[in-house]
Structures are given as C-alpha cells and as structure tokens.
Structure 1
Amino acid sequence: KAALAARIDGQVRDITRPFEGDAQLSLVTARDEADALELVRHDLAHVMAEAVQHLFPATQITFGPATADGFYYDFAPPPDRGPFTEEDLPAIEAEMRAIIARDEPFVREVWSRRALIDRWSEQGETFKAEWAAALPDGEELTIYRQGEWLDMCRGPHMASTGKLAPDAFKLTRVSGAYWRGDQKNAMLSRITGTGWLSKKQLDAHLTMLEEAAKRDHRRIGQEMDLFHLQPEAQGSVFWHPKGYLVWRALEAYMRRRLDAAGYAEVKTPQLMDARQWEQSGHWGKYRENMFVVPDEVPNVEDDRAVLSGEADLMALKPMNCPAHVLIFRQGIKSYRDLPIRMAEFGCCHRNEAHGALHGLMRVRQFTQDDAHIFVTQEQLVDEVRAFCDLLDVIYKDLGFDSYAIKLALRPEKRFGSEEMWDWSEQSLRDAVAATGRDTPAFGWEELPGEGAFYAPKLEFHLTDAIGRTWQCGTLQTDTVLPERLDASYVGEDGQRHRPVMLHRAILGTFERFLGILIEHHAGRFPLWLAPVQAVVATIVSDADDYATGVAAGLRRAGLRVETDLRNEKINYKVREHSLAKVPNLLVVGKREAEEGTVAIRRLGSQGQEVLGLAAAIEALTAEATPPDLVG
C-alpha cells in the first residue's frame, strides 16, 4: 500500500508496469520525497487537465509538466470565451477532487505516431496534433489514460488518481504563455498549482508563500526607495541613491575580501568583435542570448558575412571569460606566475525573454562578481579549497549560515574530449572532498547533464530565512576555453602547457544577490549594509539645532545619517521610518538637547535606550563596522 512507484535499474517506473527482464528493483514510497513529489505533481497536472476539459468543453490541452514546487498546464480556451481567470480556479479544484475520489487507474499505452495524429485531429486538438507530427519516426510514443481522458506522456505515474491527497493541492494563479514558448505563436492560458504529499506540507508551503509575499524585494525596494524598473529599459535597473549606497557597501566589502585573497582586479570592454565570440564558442552556443551591434556596416544580411570577414559585427559581452583569457595572453607566462587570480565586477548583457524578466532576480543588464583563476593541474585542488573557504566566510558575513553544494556534470551538447570531462569532473570531486564538504551536511549531490557546454561546475545553493534555496555561487573547471583561445604558460620543462581556467562567482550577480538579500533580511539589512543607518528625529522644533549637530557628529564617524526636522508628531515619524526599515531612530527633544543625550529606538523594538552622544556614536560606529574590518 505504501508503494507509489518502482525504481528499475535506477529508473522510476509505474508500479503497475510489468517486469521486462532481470533488474535491480527498489520501491518508491512517500519517504523518497523527491521522487514521490514529482509523481504527485505529474499526476495532479493530468487530473487538472481532465477537470478543465470536463468543465469547459472544446478547451485544447498542450503541455503540463511538474515543477519545483507544483505543476502547470497550458490550455487554449474554447473559442466562445476569453482566457481563463482566477475566478475559474475554485470550480476546477472541486472537479479535481471529484476525479481523485473516483480513483481512476493511470493506464500506460503505446501508440503509433499516426494513431496519435489521427486521435488529436478527430478531437480538434490542433496543438497536440502538431506536436505529435513533430515527434521522430520510430520513437516509442506512450499515452496515459485515466478513465476516458488521455494525454501523450512519458510517465511515470502512480497507480491511480486515488493515491493523491485531495486536501494537499491548491491552484495558485492563471497567466499567459505562448505556444512552445514563442511569442509569434498563439497565446495560451497557463494554470499553475502547487501539490504536496499531505495537507501539512501544503499548509507549510502556503505559509511560506505568504511570508515571501511580505518580503517581495520589489515592494520593499519601493518602500525603502532603493530602485525601480520601467518599460523604457526592460530588464535594466534604475538604482536610486539609497539603493546604490547598499550596492557600494557590498561592492567595497567584496573588493576588500578579494584583495586579501590575492585577486588582481581588471576591467574589460563591453563590446567585442563577433569573431572573438565565435572563436570562444559562445557565438554558436549562446548567439540568441547576445545583443549584437553593427559596426557601421550597412546591409548586413546575416552572420555568415561577418564570420567570413565580409562585414563586421560587435556583440555586448554576455560574460567576461574570453576577455580575461586575452589579458592572460599578454606577455609570456611562466609556471612560477601561477596561480593568477583575475577578478572583475563586469557589466554584462543577456537577451532574456520578456516573460522571464522578474525584478532584480532576472534582468538583461547585470554586474557579475566574476573571477577567473589560471592554474596548473597540480594547483587545482588547493585553489578550489581556498575558494570554498572564501565563499563560506562571505556567505556567513552576509547572514547565510546554510548552503548546499551540487556538482553539475557534462551536458549532452559539449566541447572537449571525454578524457577531459572525466578529469575535470573528478578534479572537482577530489577538491570538494579535500575540504570535507562532500557530505549530507552540505547537501552534496551530483546533477547529471547540468554542466556548462565547456566545463562541469560546482553550484552553491543558499538557504534563506524562510527556507527557500537560491543558486548563487559557481565554480567551473575549464580546459576548453584556454585551448580555443590559445592560452599557455611555460612549464618547468621549458615547454608550452595549457592552464586550467577556473570560472568562479560567489554572489553571482549584484542585482540578483541584492534582491535575495532584501528578501532574506525583509529589508532589515545588517547595519553595515543599511542605506540609512540612523535618522535623527526631533520631538520639538527647539531641538532642531541640536539634532543637526548630532547628525554631523555621526557623519564624521562615518555613519550614513539623515535628519527629520518636520513639524510632525514623533509617533508619525517613528511609523514612517519603520516602514522605510531605518535601523536606528535617534529621538531628541528639549531635554536631550540640554543633557547632550539621544534616545535610540531600534527597528522592531518598542523600547528605547538613552545614551550620551559620545557613547551613542561609539556604539553605532562599532555596530556599523563591516565584518571584515571588525577587530
């Protein structure tokens, strides 16, 4: 009864599917949470699609995958009604529970491509017919049936709809989506839901979503006057003075950490010739995500003319690595020069799809805390260990005590030999093992097929204050780019050798990491990062001159301070500055002016602390000292 599916030779399969020969067998139960949740969410997607088509006949189905925390399906609504709305969701949920109660078996069937095309065409499912026609000849095509309803699907599924908990899912939103992700195609209605193994898990997830909404960096950014976005510069951020103060504080901290770790900072061009990107391999693999700029050449019909030398195109850099190789190639390098640690806070541009843009989390113009380390093979393990130690310190300084490490292995489409990939992947395994971080305590896991086209990579996934994970840091072991761009050093034997190039980032991008910081701290930054560290607010106008002097003293001590001398009640001022997440409100009135004191109200505290001005400046200065400068 506990079995939800089976694992045959490592592959998850339907529990009802017969054995096809001798195999290693294990059973998947709710204790195997990752596999179980994917099964549940996949089943829920099918149940939702059946419910929608039952309630709204003539609706066409398209795709409906499981996601990281739920599922969705894209629908073409009936021609006699507009797109689905969130007002439709309660009725769909009720119909889904009825389907679950019927406990319909999930039945796997193998069909021919012709039979599938005919079936979809007869039912008026034009999108499904188009997709079936695009599938390769000779491929085994499967459908899953629950009662009379069916869809093309590779599976696996649980035994029946009754295995789903009727109180452990919720439909959350309706949005638009283009057929096959192409904005030239028809607009569909995407219905998204979240699904879990139990109501307890669902309730915990919904509570987390409520907390996440309170911490939304876009809302907090507006309340704190940090930044804004607008259509005239889609995917680019307008940083306001206060937001840029946070940026500068973070950048200065990172620069000090990198200086202490032996990095040399460089600055490279925004625009580079398309042929350079072709040589590096990015043009063939990344062209659609690059912003291309004609170099005053009219009538350029296509990229072939550029790459053949008949015309010139430039491209805004989507990454910094080729430029860093070009710096490395200036002058002859010896094995004695290595390792070379080259860092850049490099501004990059990537042509992300409009629908993928999201606040600070997904932008088109961004600044990476990028670096490339050129090492010999023998130096690699020590450098990875040093990088992990540096990353650990920085994450803790920024308030993140927990992170997981994943090893992303070779993708299907890649450069380089199998021997190179074998060595690169094993080198990263050995390096993490040398740090003692290849353990469950660090969430160590290997991710087949998820590496970059030129290198495997370590991924560092932060856990924030409400339990969400964010992949920020990366480290990649690359022998492909040094080969393609002809980087070399003179070894101890007097011969030329290729360096190993470590691509690494800790924050990832400043924009996204600042968004994560805002949400992690709910806008209540550590004092050293806060854009305004204190506001001196008066109770009566007689204290205006004293308040101005207090602020001046705080500024001389290096603190970021504002004054509030408005003719408003102090309770109004307290509420307003609390909403703006000001960490310290220094309240002064006639008594404070006479006694040379201040009353400090900490953000989130109901009480206050009265200190002499000198003591207050000393205390706040100590609290505002960046962690790398303490002591």
Structure 2
Amino acid sequence: MKRLFLCALATNKGAYTMSVESIPQESNNHRRWGRDLGLFTFAPQVGSGLPLWLPKGAILRDTLERFLRQEQLERGYQPVVTPHIGKLDLYKTSGHWYKYRESIFPPMVEPRSEADEHDRWTYSDDSCSAPSFREPLKAEDEGPDGEAYILKPMNCPHHIYIYKSELRSYRDLPLRLAEFGTVYRYEQSGELNGLLRTRDFTQDDSHIFVTHAQVQEEFAKVVELALFVFQVLQLDDFVARVGLLDPASSKYIGSDEAWQQAQTVIMSAVEQLGIPYSIEQGEAGFYGPKLDFLFPDALGRQWQLGTAQVDYNLPERFDLTYVGEDGQLHRPVMIHRANFGSLERMIAILLEHHAGALPAWLAPVQAKLIPISDRHLAYAQEVAAQLRSADVRVEVDTRGERMNAKVRDAQLQKIPYILVVGDKEAADHAVSVRLRSNENLGAMALAHFIERITNVIRTKNREL
C-alpha cells in the first residue's frame, strides 16, 4: 500500500507547479521493524550509516553467524580473524586504492619525523584524531607520504597474507579461509539506506585458494552452499546474475585469457546446477567475473546478497604460489565468496521478507511467558528456567498489565510462541499455547511443548 503526497512548489515567477511523490507506508520497512522489535538503532551523534545493535539485534546476528560458521566447518572452511585496518600499500598492490578510492575512508598517517607529526597528525595518548588533508585525494593519487593506514574496505588482501604466511603445497589445497570481517566504505550520505547500505558492515567473507584443476568443482560447491543458506533462511525469491566485464571500460586488470578462464568456470557451474540466470556486462569485479544473487526488498528493489567470484589476477599481483606434485612452484586461483553478502543487508531483507515474523530459530525471543496474575509469577519463572535449560530464548512478562494486553504486545513483537499460565496450568504442569498469528493451540503439557519448540528450532522448520 502506498500514500500519495501532493506537493505545491513555488517558482521564481510566482506560479505553482504540482508534483506527486509516491511514498511507501512504513508497515513493512526494515527500519520500522528494527525500532519496533528492539533490534538496532541509529544515532546522529555516532554518525550516519553506522547502526547500533541492541541486545536482541546482537542475538539475531550471533544466531546467523553460528549457523553459517557451523555449516562452513562441516565443509572444510577454517576460521580466521584479521585487523580492521591495513597499510595503504596493501590496497595499492591489490588495486583497490586506484579503483575504489572514492569509497575508502581517508588514510591515517604515521609521521616520519616530529615536524611531520605537527603538520599531519594531532596525537595524544587518548586521542582519536585522524589526519586531515588540505586537498582531497584523487583516485590516481599515490596517497600521503609516510606510513599510511586505512580502514579496510575489504578482507581479501588480509586473507592473501594468511595464505602467504607459510609455504603451501598442492596437498594443502583447496584452502578455505573464512571470516566474519567488518569492513568500512565511505558511502555518500545520499546513498545510505538503513541496513541496506551502511558505512560499516560485516561480511561472511571467504577466500578459497585452489589449483587450476580444482577450481570448477570448488566453485560449484560454493554455489551449492549459497543455495542451501537461502533455502534455510526461507529466501526463495532471487535472481542469479552473471557479471561480466564491460569491453568499453578500462577499470579491469588482467589478461583476456584469465578473464575467459574465469568466465568459463562460472558459466559451467550455473549450467551444471540448472540455475536460471541473466548476464550483465559491466557488473564484474575489477579483477574477475562474478555470480551475484539478487533479492527484492518490500518495494521490489533488487539488492545483492550472496556473491561468488573467480579470480586469476590477485594471485598474480601478490605472487601467490604453491608447490605442485612435480616439485615446481605454481600459481593458485582464488575464489571470493560471501553467502549473506553482509549481515546488515541480509537482516534487512529477512525482516522485510518475513514482515518482522522471523522463523522461530532466528527469533531473538522465541517464547514469552505471561502469568495471569502475580501469584502465577513463580510458576512462570519455573517454566522459563526449564525452557532456558533446553536452549530456548524466553522472557517472562512481569508487568502489571492485563493479560490480553500482554498477549497483544507479544504478538506485535512477533514472538513465535506465547505461553499463558494460571492456576490450572500450574496444577497440571502445563502451558496454554498461542502463536503470534493468534492461533490458540490450547493447554499443552510442558514436556510436550518443550519437545515441540526444540524440534522446530533444531530443524529450522518453517511451521510453528
């Protein structure tokens, strides 16, 4: 549903023109759900595009991370952790500095001398100051003198140096490194959009190092994991897009041969898996073609979540090698991969896709206990303790409101299970179960309910 706003605008000549702006209602906006469900907030004093995650939002993030981390461990991924900053030279080598300078936060410079310190850097033991530059840097600039650091805009160079930290053998490959890594992009204010586009976001980032003979099979496994993740999250409405280079653009690196090899790998995988896809020239990364998964928001706008990219070029730039079966040094291939894309954007899409009613296994609060009166509070707390011991996230509503008001509030909070307890439930060691949809399941033995809810959570069932 949309509201139409008519706006009369005065012109210099004193006449008036009419414009019509179609504005979506907030009923299914992820920012509204973030506020109403107590998941996240924004504060202008902190900065635009910088979400603050509240306790329930942090639980949601942690649940998503633990789910994917376990799936990755079972598939041979190895967790790593890297710093939030890196030397500017790192991103010159990768090419990101020259290709995406306008989206990188200004460098922080360690001065070479005391004189430089006064010119470039205000420093004290408790200072959070950053350098200021008299003139804006251009994309082709080499950057400031001195040892410069930037907030990392992506994780791949850090993972590359984990690969380079020891001599690798063909027996070590595929090497699958995975990190929930927070990155920083200096998005313009007009481009920011709730959690859909922020200035800091956490990627479920993985970089896989493979031999040329392994790349086809490994890329197919990457896509299969992405499809599995979307299925579990009940995100079935997506479009697969193969992004190729734009022949008219000069932003790309590497040889035509390398690009053709990477393109062949991606096209073979989508054909093998039977995924309907579109081809878009100009949507490739600067170092290689990619497969993106686009999902609609509540307004039908497409947003990229998962991505998988084949890269023959960064291994060349960083001189990556492994010892082959013949005892000689060979060049590996990199696969860049993210299933969520970013936790922030994934949560935005999930909230709008499910209209705030997240699957029970994801819900920050999975059950709400409502004692009919104060004398039933002790039993409600006893039930809550048993649910917590079964790893169910539960709250007890101890407010002095009427029972019907408490039930309504729990439904508005999209809590999957609402458990009312009174004299009869306490006597029978039971709970009266309602769903957030207002369906009344009636009285149920507590042991039976615990079995039901834990099974729904364990199997990540769509139904309650």
TM-score category, normalised to shorter length: 0.7 to 0.9
Distance 1:275 1:221 in 2: 38
Aligned residue number for residue 22 of structure 2: 172
Q: Cα offset for 1:626?
A: 5.2
**Contact preservation (8 Å) 1:345, 1:370:** yes
Distance 1:468 1:234 in 2: 22
Aligned residue number for residue 208 of structure 2: 373
What does 1:317-336 align with in structure 2 at a 5 Å threshold? 317-336=152-171
Aligned residue number for residue 125 of structure 2: none
Alignment counterpart, residue 429 of structure 1, candidates 255, 262, 267: 267
Opposite residue 242 of structure 1, the aligned amino acid is K
Alignment counterpart, residue 39 of structure 2, candidates 207, 222, 226: 226
What does 1:357-506 align with in structure 2 at a 5 Å threshold? 357-411=192-246, 412=249, 413-437=251-275, 442=276, 444-462=277-295, 469-506=302-339
Identity %: 40
Q: Cα offset for 1:614?
A: 1.4
Opposite residue 447 of structure 1, the aligned amino acid is E
**Contact preservation (8 Å) 1:535, 1:585:** yes
With the length of structure 1 as denominator, give the TM-score of the two structures.
Answer: 0.65
Is 1:216 the counterpart of 2:29? The answer is yes
Distance 1:420 1:398 in 2: 35
Q: Cα offset for 1:80?
A: 5.5
**Contact preservation (8 Å) 1:381, 1:434:** no
Distance 2:153 2:14 in 1: 42
Residues 400 and 309 of structure 1, relative CA distance in 2, 3 Å threshold:
closer
Structure 1 gaps of 5+ residues are 1-51, 57-76, 91-170, 174-208
Distance 1:349 1:511 in 2: 13
**Contact preservation (8 Å) 1:250, 1:529:** yes
Opposite residue 231 of structure 1, the aligned amino acid is P
Aligned residue number for residue 130 of structure 1: none
Distance 2:94 2:301 in 1: 35
**Contact preservation (8 Å) 1:292, 1:313:** no
Is 1:243 the counterpart of 2:57? The answer is yes
Opposite residue 506 of structure 1, the aligned amino acid is N
Name the SS of the counterpart of 2:214 in structure 1. helix
Aligned residue number for residue 43 of structure 1: none
Distance 2:298 2:220 in 1: 27
**Contact preservation (8 Å) 1:275, 1:307:** no
Q: Cα offset for 1:340?
A: 0.7
Q: Cα offset for 1:393?
A: 1.1
What does 1:504-543 align with in structure 2 at a 5 Å threshold? 504-543=337-376
Aligned residue number for residue 610 of structure 1: 443
Opposite residue 424 of structure 1, the aligned amino acid is A
**Contact preservation (8 Å) 1:400, 1:464:** no
Q: Cα offset for 1:427?
A: 2.0
Aligned residue number for residue 137 of structure 1: none
Name the SS of the counterpart of 1:507 in structure 2. coil
Distance 1:464 1:89 in 2: 26
**Contact preservation (8 Å) 1:465, 1:521:** no
For each residue in 1:458-478, what CA deviation from the matched residue of structure 2 results, as whole angstroms up to 9, or x when unmatched? 111235788664321111111
Alignment counterpart, residue 271 of structure 1, candidates 85, 92, 116: 85
**Contact preservation (8 Å) 2:174, 2:210:** yes
Aligned residue number for residue 565 of structure 1: 398
Residues 399 and 467 of structure 1, relative CA distance in 2, 3 Å threshold:
farther
Distance 1:463 1:596 in 2: 45
Distance 1:242 1:536 in 2: 17
Distance 1:531 1:586 in 2: 16
Alignment counterpart, residue 548 of structure 1, candidates 381, 386, 402: 381
Distance 1:81 1:613 in 2: 73
Name the SS of the counterpart of 1:407 in structure 2. strand
Distance 1:593 1:310 in 2: 73
Distance 1:452 1:547 in 2: 55
Name the SS of the counterpart of 1:295 in structure 2. strand
Opposite residue 365 of structure 1, the aligned amino acid is D
Aligned residue number for residue 99 of structure 2: 285
**Contact preservation (8 Å) 2:219, 2:265:** no
Residues 380 and 296 of structure 1, relative CA distance in 2, 3 Å threshold:
closer
Alignment counterpart, residue 582 of structure 1, candidates 415, 425, 431: 415
Distance 2:424 2:145 in 1: 80
Distance 1:399 1:431 in 2: 23
Residues 228 and 81 of structure 1, relative CA distance in 2, 3 Å threshold:
farther
Is 1:254 the counterpart of 2:68? The answer is yes
Name the SS of the counterpart of 1:385 in structure 2. helix
Distance 1:243 1:81 in 2: 50
Q: Cα offset for 1:342?
A: 0.8
Q: Cα offset for 1:239?
A: 0.6
Q: Cα offset for 1:420?
A: 1.6
Opposite residue 585 of structure 1, the aligned amino acid is I
Q: Cα offset for 1:373?
A: 0.8
Residues 80 and 349 of structure 1, relative CA distance in 2, 3 Å threshold:
farther
Alignment counterpart, residue 18 of structure 2, candidates 76, 84, 88: 88
With the length of structure 2 as denominator, give the TM-score of the two structures.
Answer: 0.87
Alignment counterpart, residue 354 of structure 1, candidates 189, 194, 202: 189
Distance 1:511 1:361 in 2: 7
Distance 1:335 1:593 in 2: 64
Distance 1:547 1:430 in 2: 57
Q: Cα offset for 1:448?
A: 1.2
Distance 1:471 1:294 in 2: 31
Residues 402 and 414 of structure 1, relative CA distance in 2, 3 Å threshold:
same
For each residue in 1:438-489, what CA deviation from the matched residue of structure 2 results, as whole angstroms up to 9, or x when unmatched? xxxx2x1111122111111111123578866432111111111111111111
Residues 358 and 626 of structure 1, relative CA distance in 2, 3 Å threshold:
farther
Name the SS of the counterpart of 1:608 in structure 2. strand
Q: Which of the pair has the greater relative contact order for Cα pairs under 8 Å at 6+ separation?
A: 2
Q: Cα offset for 1:293?
A: 3.7
Q: How many residues align?
A: 430
**Contact preservation (8 Å) 1:384, 1:432:** no
Residues 432 and 229 of structure 1, relative CA distance in 2, 3 Å threshold:
same
**Contact preservation (8 Å) 1:466, 1:520:** no
Opposite residue 172 of structure 1, the aligned amino acid is S
Name the SS of the counterpart of 1:378 in structure 2. coil
Residues 78 and 312 of structure 1, relative CA distance in 2, 3 Å threshold:
farther
Structure 2 gaps of 5+ residues are 1-6, 112-116, 121-132
Residues 530 and 395 of structure 1, relative CA distance in 2, 3 Å threshold:
same
**Contact preservation (8 Å) 2:84, 2:182:** yes
The structure with the largest helix share of the pair is 1
Aligned residue number for residue 3 of structure 1: none
Q: Cα offset for 1:308?
A: 8.6
**Contact preservation (8 Å) 2:296, 2:349:** no
Residues 348 and 283 of structure 1, relative CA distance in 2, 3 Å threshold:
same
Q: Cα offset for 1:605?
A: 2.3
Distance 2:215 2:80 in 1: 22
Distance 2:199 2:457 in 1: 33
